[in-house]
Amino acid sequence: MDQTLKAEQARVEIHLSARAASPGSLAAGRPSGETRSQGREGWRDVLAKAACEVFEIMVGTSLGKVTEDGPHIVADFTAMVGIAGSLCGVLSLRTSSEAARRMAAGMLGIEEAGVGENVQDALGEVCNMIAGSFKSRIPGIADTCALSVPTVISGKDYTLYSLASGEHYEVIFSFEGKPLSVTLDLHG
Amino acid sequence: MKPVRVLIVDDSSVMRKIVGRSLRQAGLEMQEVLEASNGSEALTVAREHPLDLILTDINMPMMDGLEFVRQLRRIEAAKDIPVIMVTTEAGEAHVVQALSSGASGYIRKPFTPDQIKERVIPLLRG
């Protein structure tokens, strides 16, 4: 994943593009026109199922699905994983610092007060697992695209310019009463 | 089953802790738990410590899990240590690639302690 960070006083602009990640040989190939345009009606639900699976197994909490569009989220943390190969784009997870701390505590099986620097790490891993689970649920892409290592941004004041200017899928969840967004942006 | 010496390799310290906890929940008695954050560090640990089991991620900086296992199998003292890949990459080609590189088994993240138990215990008995 390429990242260009432009610091403008306290504001950061982040430009992302996904390229082939290891194992490189498995990330080769482009989707056919048919693959690109058809059969994606259920992908939002697939994204939701992938997120629910990860939270139930790794965090020990069920996610509540909010609404089709959900509330606007001002996130303290944004985790991102690049997808490259037959499917190119970025999967991101955005939530508040409180939800992120609870998530890390759930994963580690400890009290929130003890999570410390593990918050970003936990958020990145959850995002990574959601991306992997999503990929494994879509026939034909598990072996033809690869995931980048996760990137986690702390702070609210940034603008994300994804070069993935194609399809956009977002699911807003309620995690222990706090909003949490899972988004998949694909290259056009 | 005798207490085992385990090496857990993952660039995420959270995942290393979760894997260690899952091993304990699976009923494994551990004599020693060593950790490494990439394949290169793991090779150093494997050269310096006798091990009964290794669980490793695939996508890591410096040296990934596939290259780590390939190089591990060239170390005489480590060539027979059971190595399980624990990774988000679950496609058939990824599994084949992991097994061809020398891994003994494969677990997809997210995983339950039961899944760890199913994959790990037979390798230690075998």
Confidence (pLDDT) at A163: 64
Q: β-strands A178-186, A168-175: how paired?
A: antiparallel
pLDDT tens per residue, range B18-69:
999 999 998 999 999 999 999 999 999 999 999 999 999 998 999 999 999 9
- Please provide the average confidence, as pLDDT, over all residues in chain A: 79
- Picking from B18, B61, B89, the nearest residue to A149 by CB comes out as B61
Q: Which positions in chain B touch A149 (Cβ < 8 Å)?
A: 11, 59-61
Q: Quick one: pLDDT at residue A35?
A: 47
Confidence class for position B93, pLDDT limits 50, 70, 90: confident
Confidence (pLDDT) at B90: 75
| Buried/exposed code over B101-125 (b: 16+ C-beta within 10 A; e: otherwise) | bbbbbbbbbbbebebbbebbeeeee
Residue A56 pLDDT greater than 90, yes or no: yes
- Contact with chain B for residue A57, Cβ under 8 A: yes
Is the pLDDT at A25 greater than 80, yes or no? no
- Note whether B72 and B44 are within 8 A (CB): no
The interface residues of chain A toward chain B in range 157-186, judged by CB-CB distance below 8 A, are none
Contact criterion met (CB below 8 Å) for A19 and A84: yes
In this prediction, residue A17 has a pLDDT band, given cuts at 50, 70 and 90, of: very low
Q: Which residue has the higher pLDDT, B39 or A5?
A: B39
Instruction: List the Cα angle B37/B59/A139 in 5-degree steps.
Output: 150
Q: pLDDT (tens digit, 9 = 90+) per residue, A69-84?
A: 656 677 899 999 999 9
Average pLDDT over residues A16-30: 38
What share of residues in chain B are helix, strand, coil (percent, to 5)?
45, 20, 35
- Higher-confidence residue of A159 and A8: namely A159
Tell me the domain boundaries of chain A: 2-16+42-186
Q: Do B108 and A131 touch (CB under 8 A)?
A: no
H-state helical runs in chain B: 13-25, 39-48, 65-72, 92-101, 113-125
Q: Please provide residue B49's backbone torsions phi and psi, each rounded to the nearest 5 degrees.
A: -130, 140
Contact across the interface for A26 and B91, Cβ inside 8 Å: yes
Q: Cβ(A54)–Cβ(A133) under 8 Å?
A: yes
pLDDT band, residue B126 (cuts 50/70/90) = low
pLDDT in tens, A93-137: 999 999 999 999 999 999 999 999 899 999 999 999 999 999 999
> Can you list the domains of chain B with their CATH numbers?
4-125 (3.40.50.2300)
Is the domain spanning A2-16+42-186 CATH 1.10.10.10? The answer is: no
- B10 alpha carbon, distance to own chain's centre: 9
Render pLDDT for A37-46 as a digit per residue (tens, 0 to 9): 456 878 999 9
